[in-house]
Amino acid sequence: MSRIKVIDYEESTGRLRAIYDDLIKNRGKLADVHTIQSLHPESIVAHMNLYIEIMFNHSELSRAEREMIAVVVSVNNGCNYCRTHHSEALNKYWKDNSKIQLLLTNIEAKGLSEKENALCRFAKHLTLYPHLHEKTDFTKELSEVGIAEQGILDAVLVVAYFNFVNRLVLSLGVELETDKGAGYNY
């Protein structure tokens, strides 16, 4: 149960209703991670714009790699909501439940490429030890597996975004929807 007031779709009016309607139209349904921001409707718009830019922009990182990073960050933060949503999104690309389960329990999963394992290690380390990144260049391993500078930036953006969302979800008590996220347009 959320820790702050949430304006549900049925209660929404005006600008909030328009934002909700747009989310339903574009995403297939309304997520609790968005309704938790209902007291500040424009933050929902900014949140979605950031999400779309980071997760769907042109990048040398594939959509699957970005979803994989989202899962690694969410597992390390203990965010079941995002872990569940984004492991389901990742499986739309991987189509391998056993590989997803390996990732959820061991970030250096067998069957991952050298690049994918480097991205997983980087995402975990930046999530758990951000202060160490100020003085040490942990992006070097990403360069060594062939990721160019824009790809490194994109990896950092995905890690930072999911740390933001995980904290939003965890601190405000966003619970996993009863359908566990089924039906979203990813």
Q: What is the mean pLDDT of residues 98-119?
A: 88
Q: Give me the pLDDT at residue 155, please.
A: 98
Residue 5: pLDDT band by 50, 70, 90 thresholds? very high
Query: How do residues 113-154 score in pLDDT, each as one tens digit?
Result: 999 999 999 999 999 999 999 999 999 999 999 999 999 999
Query: Which has the closest alpha carbon to 145: 112, 123, 124, 117?
Result: 117
pLDDT band at 178 (very low <50, low <70, confident <90, very high): confident
What global pTM score does this model have?
A: 0.94
Task: Tell me the per-residue pLDDT of 21-48, one tens digit each, with 9 for 90 and over.
Answer: 999 999 999 999 999 999 999 999 999 9
**In the predicted structure, residue 184 carries a pLDDT above the cut 70:** no
For 157-178, give one letter per residue: b (16+ CB within 10 A) or e.
bbbbbbbebbebbbeeebeebe
Q: By C-alpha distance, which of 74, 70, 46 is closest to 119? A: 70
pLDDT at 107 over 80: no
Domain with CATH 1.20.1290.10 in the chain: 63-172
Give the up-direction half-sphere exposure of residue 41: CA atoms within 13 A in the CB hemisphere. 15
Q: Which fold has domain 63-172?
A: AhpD-like (1.20.1290)
Backbone phi, then psi, for 30, in 5-degree steps?
A: -100, 125
Q: What is the mean pLDDT of residues 56-85?
A: 97
| pLDDT surpasses 80 at 91 | yes
Name residues whose C-beta falls within 8 Å of residue 108's C-beta, 6 or more positions apart in sequence: 117, 120, 121
